[in-house]
Structure 1
Amino acid sequence: MNTVQYEVKDQVATITMARPEVKNAINEEMHKDLYDSFQEARRDSDVKVIVLTGTEGSFSSGADLKSIPIDQMDTFDHGEYLERTYNKLVTLLDDIEKPTVAYMNGTSVGAGLSLALACDFRFASPEAKIALSFLHIGLTPDAGASYFLPRLVGLGKALELGLGETISAEEALRIGLVTKLGDPDSFIHALKQAPSPAYGWMKKNMKTGLDDSLPEVLDAEVEGQRAAGKSDAHVKAVQFFLSRSKR
């Protein structure tokens, strides 16, 4: 892959956006490389946690505007481009049952920020600059930002951020946009202990709880608990608990 670095180490798949010359701006080739990398990490039974980050002090500067042919601006269909690229990638990210972590190690704006919002957790380096900058180029937030951001920070704050003001990592932490500041290594180590499939069902059911009725959520919990209750992780945990209680 030319635009993404993929590495698996100690049960963690690290997917690194690697176009440093444009602060990891996302073009069509990177879309394909990201999609393939997330699919590989999702399918690899040795991978317990997936981390998305960027090279050389940038997470991502968003969509690569230079990849849009200027001579075709009159006929270029931004909606069709979304359906072909971001929508497929963000849907995949949302469907992954394993824990996903975005390490926003620098500039995180536009669609780059959208990808971070689609991850389960977001860590930011203290110097990271964060902005939802779509309106600055006459476009509306996309790549799932309209879905994830209001759920994280509330509708009023999401609309305010949508105006495009750059905020600091500290402010992002204060409003709940990021999970913690600094390196996520210790958090990732803890996430590796999250049992499967219980984590995947927790993730799915909590998202269900945002939109569905209580009876629907209770039904989803029944389905999830039925699956988790038959898992090796649950059986081993109960056996360990019982063995300790006999001492």
Structure 2
Amino acid sequence: MKTVDYKVQDQTAVISMNRPEVKNAINKEMHEDLYQAFTKANEDSEVRVIVLTGSGDSFSSGADLKSIPVTELASFDHGSYLEETYNRLVLLMERIEKPIVAHINGVAVGAGLSLALACDFRYAEKDSVMALSFLKIGLAPDAGASYFLPRLVGLGKAIEFGTGKTIPVEEALSSGLLNGIGWPDSLIKALASAPLPAYGLMKQNMKTGAAASLEETLQAEVRAQRTAGKSRAHQKALEAFIQKSR
């Protein structure tokens, strides 16, 4: 993978977007590398937590518009490009049962911020710069931002952030966009012991509950408990509880 650095340590896969010369702007090659990295982390039984971050002083400056040939700009289909790249990647991230944490280490704008929103948790360094800067180039927010952001901060705040304003770290934290400041070491350690598939089922049910009816959510919980109840993680926890209670 030329545009992504992939390392595994202490049950954690750290995926670093690695084009620091362009603030980790995302081109087609990086899309393929990110997809490969997330697939690898998902399939590795030794990996319990996935962290997405950027190399250098940036998380990601978003889509690399300069990678589009000038001769193709007039006929370029942004919708088709989304379907082939961001949508494919975000749907993969959504399917992964393991916890995914974004560590925003600097600039996170446009689709770069959208990818952070697609993660389960978001931590940022104090000097990070965040913005959904799509309107500034005459485009609407994409790469899942329209789905994730209202669920995190509410509709009114999501529309405000969608105008492209710079989001101070303090405001991102108080609004619910961020979970914390700095490298999330304690969170990663806690998530490493999160039981699977129960964690993934919980994540899906919470998202279902944000939009579905009570009846639909209750049925989703029934299906989830049916699956989780048959898992090895549940059986081990149950055995430990019985032993402790004797």
TM range (shorter): over 0.9
Corresponding residue of 1:190: 190
CA shift, 1:213, in A, is 1.5
CA shift, 1:95, in A, is 1.1
Corresponding residue of 1:81: 81
Secondary structure in 2 aligned to 1:5? strand
How far apart are the structure 2 equivalents of 1:231 and 1:14? 27
Q: Percent identity?
A: 65
Question: TM-score, length-normalised on structure 2?
Answer: 0.98
CA shift, 1:141, in A, is 0.4
Q: Which amino acid aligns with 2:136?
A: H
Corresponding residue of 2:210: 210
How far apart are the structure 2 equivalents of 1:171 and 1:211? 25
How far apart are the structure 1 equivalents of 2:62 and 2:224? 36
Correspondence 1:224-243 to 2 at 5 A: 224-243=224-243
How far apart are the structure 1 equivalents of 2:73 and 2:199? 44
CA shift, 1:208, in A, is 1.0
C-alpha root-mean-square deviation of aligned residues, in Å? 0.9
Corresponding residue of 1:49: 49
Correspondence 1:1-247 to 2 at 5 A: 1-246=1-246
Question: TM-score, length-normalised on structure 1?
Answer: 0.97
Q: Which consecutive residues of structure 1, in runs of 5 or more, have no partner in the other structure?
A: none
How far apart are the structure 2 equivalents of 1:197 and 1:82? 29
How far apart are the structure 2 equivalents of 1:154 and 1:164? 16
Q: Which consecutive residues of structure 2, in runs of 5 or more, have no partner in the other structure?
A: none
Which string of whole-angstrom CA distances, capped at 9 and with x for unpartnered residues, describes residues 164-219 of structure 1? 11122111101110111111111100000100111011011111111221111111
How far apart are the structure 1 equivalents of 2:77 and 2:239? 57
Tell me whether 138-147 or 71-80 shows the greater mean CA deviation: 71-80
How far apart are the structure 2 equivalents of 1:128 and 1:211? 31
Secondary structure in 1 aligned to 2:53? strand
How far apart are the structure 2 equivalents of 1:232 and 1:162? 43
Moved over 4 A (4+): none
CA shift, 1:82, in A, is 0.6
Q: Which amino acid aligns with 1:137?
A: I
How far apart are the structure 1 equivalents of 2:212 and 2:225? 18
Which string of whole-angstrom CA distances, capped at 9 and with x for unpartnered residues, describes residues 88-119 of structure 1? 01111111111000000111100000000000
Secondary structure in 1 aligned to 2:82? helix
How far apart are the structure 1 equivalents of 2:19 and 2:111? 15
How far apart are the structure 2 equivalents of 1:84 and 1:231? 35
Q: Which amino acid aligns with 1:6?
A: Y
Tell me whether 172-181 or 162-171 shows the greater mean CA deviation: 162-171
Q: Which amino acid aligns with 2:45?
A: S
Q: Which amino acid aligns with 2:108?
A: S
Secondary structure in 1 aligned to 2:24? coil
CA shift, 1:38, in A, is 0.4
CA shift, 1:35, in A, is 0.5
